Amino acid sequence: MHIYDISLTISEQLPVWPGDPPIRLQRLQKMEEGDSCNVTHLNMGAHVGTHVDAPFHFLGGDSATVESLPLNLLTGRVYVAQFPDDVSQIDAAILQAANIPPRTRRLLFKTRNSAYWENQTPEFMTDFVALTPDGAEFLIHRGIRLVGVDYLSVAPFADGTPTHQALLQAGVIILEGLNLSQVTPGRYSLYCLPLKIDGADGAPARAILIGV
């Protein structure tokens, strides 16, 4: 039984969303300076690296925050769909042709984005492959309950609001920042476990796939 780690490594070199503060990992206690143990301190956004978005991220008000996302959606059977490198956006037409198996409830998209992680591209790339608003509607009507993408946003860089709002309003969990470079398309079991952060709009997560 092979475990695929589809999570990004959190480091100060990991690109973050433009305008967000950079990731800071600071060692506050150091054995080499006489402390009894080493202790690292974390200073980073809730949406760094591999992470989930909660409804509160783009809906606000009294919408659900990340600690309440249902674990029985975050874990379970998943389908990894792969798109060729010339696909620059995932819209309804592309999805219609993608042969997503019936009864799929969790869906991850492997695109050319994964090569950014494989190559450790240090810059934030604005031309990442993303889901269009009509692609989001297609998924909602197909009964998808969790969608995962291999760059830092599910939505196109130019305008993130419509895709995010459509998915979150429909109760679809959004999983972003996956590295799918080592995974072939097909069926797996997903375990996506975000930190349980009180009242937050999102949370960093560790996500793994297990072959079925």
Per rule CB under 8 A, is residue 41 in the interface with a copy of itself?
yes
Cα–Cα distance for residue pair 99/177, rounded to 1 Å: 24
Q: Which entry of 2, 41, 47, 57 is annotated as an active-site residue?
A: 57
Interface mask (CB under 8 A) for a copy of itself, residues 57-76, using x and -? xx-x------x---xx--x-
| 161: three-class secondary structure by DSSP | helix
Q: Is 148 left (phi over 0), alpha (psi -120 to 50) or beta?
A: beta
Among 20, 104, 140, 157, binds a copy of itself (CB under 8 A): 20
169: β partners: none
Among 34, 37, 84, 158, binds a copy of itself (CB under 8 A): 37
CA–CA–CA angle 143, 141, 58 (5° rounding)? 85
Q: Shortest gap between Cβ of 164 and a copy of itself (angstroms)?
A: 7
Q: Is 41 a catalytic residue?
A: no
Q: Which is nearer to a copy of itself, 67 or 134 (CB)?
A: 67
Q: Report how many residues bind a copy of itself under the rule CB under 8 A.
A: 56
- Give the contacts of 134 (CB within 8 A, at least 6 positions apart): 91, 92
Q: Shortest gap between Cβ of 85 and a copy of itself (angstroms)?
A: 26
Tokens standing for residue 106: 């969790």
Among 161, 182, 184, 187, binds a copy of itself (CB under 8 A): 161
R_g of the chain, CA atoms, integer Å:
17
| 195: three-class secondary structure by DSSP | coil
Per rule CB under 8 A, is residue 119 in the interface with a copy of itself?
no
Q: Which of 70, 72, 10 shows the shortest CA–CA distance to 46?
A: 10
Tell me which residues touch a copy of itself (CB under 8 A): 3, 5, 7-12, 20-21, 25, 27-28, 31-32, 36-47, 49-50, 56-58, 60, 67, 71-72, 75, 160-161, 164, 191, 193-202, 204-208
